[in-house]
Structure 1
């Protein structure tokens, strides 16, 4: 079966941006569309939402994975997730990861390393994510933002992936655990 639109030889130059429109801004993200001329000469709007980069932290203390439980209004569910947050201007993923871990959980890591950095949901988002690994955790007091209502928990490392895959599962937690396992860190 052939698809007349499936041309593997198109390049970036074959897609001309005719217009880029921001339709809304929320302070947290903006959304809009790019009007593109496609390789066949037709025009189409491609919608997007742009969010600043985020970091997800895989933090381990004494064979226990540090997670947070929080309500996610977008899906109306309480989720068990790896700690995470937005990367502030000028921060690296590792610096942001250490800061977010301290703020959300109170744990101060002795070391943080970048496992992976990648684009997220490329069909609709302009958003990059970094997954970091934190170790040598010292307990302390969290300093959460006013909109962070969460509970810090720990999971035995050997059960972490099963817990992460249980509904309501989320991409960032599963990705983080799988990357850390692949690197031999869990």
Structure 2
């Protein structure tokens, strides 16, 4: 085993069926519903089983922006995802704890996964986005995207100390925000998978640039 483990060192050894009674994080569900014509139909899906009882969301995705003189940079990470047997380019993310707001969860998860200490400030809707469903045709998993600002003049953001769990192997890096789309294309060409949250952010920035939405 490498003395400096990398997400790329992981690999799938086998796959097989999983019974609901043996599953820890999710379960399969068969839903019966009626379509607009009154016909009864069924739908197979997955359902996350870890959402706190008092929470409307499962987790948070974190848009962490480093404030740098040369321009803002977004914090990304590389993490191996067994379902697709690839290292994925992601934003930091995590599940919310019991009685924890999306903003508090985002600041905590960012510190734990990357070492960066950030803040969520302001009272407008920009800081915590609407509830988003990752893949509603397949599962009920949802989240808030939370915008976190990282002050690079703080000492704690100079010497990063992530607090990873023993099963987490995360490589953190940053990309200039204005070059995010090009970075996604480049990383995809190298064999990485692009998480939908990262790809959507990149597409939004590129759309804004191509259509000159803001001058």
Fold similarity call, TM over 0.5: yes
* Aligned counterpart, 2:98: 89
TM-score, structure 2 length as denominator?
Answer: 0.65
Distance in 2 between residues matched to 1:117 and 1:65, nearest whole Å: 21
For the aligned residues, what is the CA RMSD?
A: 2.5
SS at match of 2:164: coil
SS at match of 1:91: coil
Distance in 2 between residues matched to 1:155 and 1:42, nearest whole Å: 50
Shift in alpha-carbon separation, 1:41–1:136, aligned structure 2, 3 A: closer
Aligned counterpart for 2:119 among listed residues 110, 115, 119: 110
Structure 2 gaps of 5+ residues are: 1-18, 52-57, 122-126
Distance in 2 between residues matched to 1:41 and 1:157, nearest whole Å: 48
Distance in 1 between residues matched to 2:200 and 2:144, nearest whole Å: 10
Aligned counterpart for 1:59 among listed residues 57, 64, 67: 64
* Aligned counterpart, 1:28: 25
* Aligned counterpart, 1:171: 196
Shift in alpha-carbon separation, 1:169–1:136, aligned structure 2, 3 A: closer
SS at match of 1:111: coil
8 A Cα contact 2:62 2:148, kept in partner:
yes
* Aligned counterpart, 2:44: 47
Shift in alpha-carbon separation, 1:33–1:96, aligned structure 2, 3 A: same
Query: Is residue 161 from structure 1 mapped to residue 186 from structure 2 by the alignment?
Result: no
What is the total number of aligned residue pairs between the two structures? 161
8 A Cα contact 2:181 2:205, kept in partner:
no
* Aligned counterpart, 1:9: none
Distance in 2 between residues matched to 1:70 and 1:141, nearest whole Å: 18
Query: Is residue 143 from structure 1 mapped to residue 163 from structure 2 by the alignment?
Result: yes
8 A Cα contact 2:79 2:169, kept in partner:
yes
Aligned counterpart for 1:123 among listed residues 137, 152, 164: 137
Shift of 1:177: 4.7
TM-score, structure 1 length as denominator?
Answer: 0.74
SS at match of 2:198: helix
SS at match of 1:97: helix
Shift of 1:95: 1.3
Distance in 2 between residues matched to 1:35 and 1:60, nearest whole Å: 43
Larger CA deviation: 160-169 vs 73-82 = 160-169
Q: Which has the higher strand share?
A: 1
